[in-house]
Amino acid sequence: MEKLRNCSLKEYNTFGIDATADLLVKYSSEQELLAFLDEYQREMSHQPLLHIGGGSNLLFLSDFPGVILFSEIKDISVLFEDEETVQVSVGAGITHDDFVLYAIQHGWYGLENLSLIPGQVGSSAVQNIGAYGAEVGNLINKVYTVSLQDGSTRAWDHDELSYSYRHSIFKDEAYRGKYAVCHVIFQLEKHFTPCLNYGGLMSSVQAKQIHPENLSAMQLRDIIIETREKKLPDPKVIGNAGSFFMNPIVGVDVLHRIQEQYPKAPFYEVDSRHVKVPAGWLIEQCGWKGKSLGPAAVHDKQALVLVNKGGATGKDILCLCKAVQQSVFERFCIQLSPEVNFIGES
């Protein structure tokens, strides 16, 4: 266990916001976490406690006057396998993309489309990360947690996790912030079946002169990485948290109203009465793409991403967030909800 006092959080959030925590605790096993929680209950329980992951979905609005927990549980073990599938237990502190690569290298498939998404395995299970037609929740069989309130451990079966678009039970009001994910059990396939139905994926494969039947999982991973790198800024170069807003799910009547003015408005069907409208498109129509507000800006290649041009505070990003939300609401009567979690006082 490592304890860092008055610790800068700059390296712990991909926006690169230079907030400070009173104490940052890194633990590398469930036992270490339980030992720390015991100490916390005895000596520090008046201070707020926050568990972070890779910091790729966080916006610190102020310094954090309390304790931040960070997992370095990094073991991987196979629990079960047969000809078709494998069940793998993965430590929550492993970087999600490192596990995607590890899985492909071991002939375990299903995660390819989620390549290069930042963050840790534990947070991927909380956030139900998704991209290019895949969502991690569909590949998660079980999640093991420790309660931050009383140190009790619990296994959650897939059906208890309430996975839906960027949502799990751990984001519900009653459960939010109350658990540390320690291990995630993935169920992956031993036979590779590429998922190419999302947008331009099939054409990217064809552009490489690869027949979809001959496509390998590693080639698909490389295509996904290339696609993401074209549009999404590298957080190591320019601070950002990927998609800042969720794509709003609206009734088809709202889409029809938009289509009267924009017949080519993009959308994804959710069910017979609802569609998802890309927030990036809505923001672009409002003229925000590439625009700045102080040191915060809307990325010039993907309007869904807000960036820290250098030295921005959480409040600078929040100001831009509110201005973008207001423009979209005024023009489309749609309220954008942030995908990013705000921490601290605004």
Q: Is the dihedral of CA 111, 186, 118, 123 positive or negative?
A: positive
Residue labelled with tokens 């015991």: 38
Nearer to ligand EPU, 53 or 278 (CB): 278
CB of 173 to ligand EPU, least distance (A): 21
The two structure tokens encoding residue 154 = 């619990």
Nearer to ligand EPU, 187 or 243 (CB): 243
Among the listed residues 13, 168, 247, 325, the single contact to ligand EPU using CB under 6 A: 247
Nearer to ligand EPU, 140 or 304 (CB): 304
DSSP class per residue in 43-59: HTTTS-EEEESSSTTEE
Instruction: Pick the catalytic residue from 30, 112, 135, 339.
Output: 339
Does 132 sit near ligand EPU (CB under 6 A)? yes
Closest of 245, 21, 48, 78 to residue 148, by C-alpha:
48
The two structure tokens encoding residue 269 = 């069907």
Does 270 sit near ligand EPU (CB under 6 A)? no
Among the listed residues 195, 284, 294, 342, the single contact to ligand EPU using CB under 6 A: 284
Does 246 sit near ligand EPU (CB under 6 A)? yes
The two structure tokens encoding residue 301 = 């290649």
Instruction: Pick the catalytic residue from 89, 166, 168, 221.
Output: 166
Beta sheet of 2-8, edge-to-edge order = 2-8, 20-27, 64-71, 49-52
State yes or no: is 272 an active-site residue: no
Does 303 sit near ligand EPU (CB under 6 A)? yes
Does 242 sit near ligand EPU (CB under 6 A)? yes
State yes or no: is 11 an active-site residue: no
Residues 197-216 that bind ligand EPU (CB under 6 A): 198-199
Does 302 sit near ligand EPU (CB under 6 A)? yes
Number of residues lying near ligand EPU (CB under 6 A): 20
State how far the Cα of 196 lies from the Cα of 198, in Å rounded to an integer: 6
Does 54 sit near ligand EPU (CB under 6 A)? no
Q: List C-alpha distances in Å: 231 to 28, 32, 219, 245, 290.
A: 34, 40, 19, 16, 13
Beta sheet of 296-298, edge-to-edge order = 239-243, 305-308, 296-298, 292-293
Burial of 207: CB neighbours in 10 Å, binned 0-12, 13-18, 19+: exposed
State yes or no: is 339 an active-site residue: yes
State the catalytic residues. 166, 243, 339
Binding site for ligand EPU (CB under 6 A): 131-132, 198-199, 231-232, 242-243, 246-247, 266, 278, 280-281, 284, 289, 302-304, 339
